[in-house]
Amino acid sequence: MRHHTRDNDKKADIESFIRRISFLALNNKELQFSAIIGGVKQNLYITKDALFNRPNTEIIREELPPRDDEEEPGRTEKDFQAFLFGKGSGKDQRINERLAILGMDFYNLGGKEIGILREFGTGVFNKEKSEKQRILPTEFIDIVTLNKYREIAVIELKLNDPKIEVISQILDYALFFRCYKDKLFSILRKEFKGKIREDNIVCYVANNHFHPMHSKIRRYYTTEKNDYKFKMKQITLGYTEIIK
């Protein structure tokens, strides 16, 4: 879910945009990408090292405030999120067994007692957490958990919302987790039982209907041919085919 703490925080939005364009340029070297804002050409990150390996002065939120089931009730998307989070399960400690509905990466998780986090906050700051020092906007990721391979799973849920920008949204989350993975893994080790694989992060976008142009542009975002230590996957909810 996109949720910028301050709508007029243009510098943070611009930095987020530059990082996305930098990724696309690195990922599609046969094409030329540039970012021009207000008539001014912006400098891109021209190497993976520059994009992914951030200075220690860039800090993230380390606290994980509790989320209840009744936040923003009445919206199908949020109700679905609350169900996956374990609403009505009668369990105080929420686990991710209901994610089986999302397919094979979450198949047969029952009994493994893997934790699940809802509305996971992003946001990056320079040295101190204040609006003046903000580097990237704050957004709230629908679900963070582990998949059956014990990889960090970052999940954005959509229902009846086929906007094309969902692919840039999941790229924002992927870049956040990749750039700050050491800090994030330190936090998540405390939340999830057992070993966490640290060689790969998987970012999923789940929707029941994607924009008609989605299939044409997603090839520019593919992570299959490069070792970024993250992958992006799409899940089509309710996929149906004729029995032949």
Domain around 224: 10-236
Confirm whether 146 is domain-assigned: yes
Pairing of strands 230-236, 197-207: parallel
Confirm whether 241 is domain-assigned: no
Pairing of strands 117-121, 197-207: unpaired
The pLDDT score that the predictor gives to residue 8 is 40
The pLDDT score that the predictor gives to residue 25 is 98
Confirm whether 72 is domain-assigned: yes
Whether 80 has a pLDDT exceeding 80, the answer reads yes
Q: What are phi and psi of 184, to 5 degrees?
A: -70, -40
Whether 156 has a pLDDT exceeding 80, the answer reads yes
The C-alpha atoms of residue 85 and residue 142 are separated, in whole angstroms, by 10
The pLDDT score that the predictor gives to residue 91 is 78
Long-range contacts, 88-95 (Cβ 8 Å, 24+): 94/118
Confirm whether 243 is domain-assigned: no
pLDDT greater at residue 111 or residue 159: 159
The pLDDT score that the predictor gives to residue 88 is 83
The pLDDT score that the predictor gives to residue 5 is 44
Tokens (6 digits) for 124? 């990056």
Confirm whether 1 is domain-assigned: no
Confirm whether 43 is domain-assigned: yes
pLDDT greater at residue 6 or residue 200: 200
Confirm whether 2 is domain-assigned: no
Whether 201 has a pLDDT exceeding 50, the answer reads yes
Q: Of all residues in the chain, what percent carry a pLDDT higher than 90?
A: 80
The pLDDT score that the predictor gives to residue 29 is 95
Count the Cβ atoms, other than its own, within 10 Å of residue 88: 8
Average pLDDT over residues 192-216: 94
The C-alpha atoms of residue 203 and residue 71 are separated, in whole angstroms, by 23
Average pLDDT, the chain: 92
- Tell me the angle at which helices 181-188 and 166-179 cross, rounded to the nearest 10 degrees: 80
Average pLDDT over residues 178-185: 97
Count the Cβ atoms, other than its own, within 10 Å of residue 77: 16
Confirm whether 34 is domain-assigned: yes
pTM for the complete prediction?
Answer: 0.92
Work out how many domains the chain is built from and give that number. Answer: 1
| Residue environment code for 124-161, b if the CB has 16+ CB neighbours within 10 A, otherwise e | bbeeeeeeeebbbbbbebbbbbbbbeebbbbbbbbbee
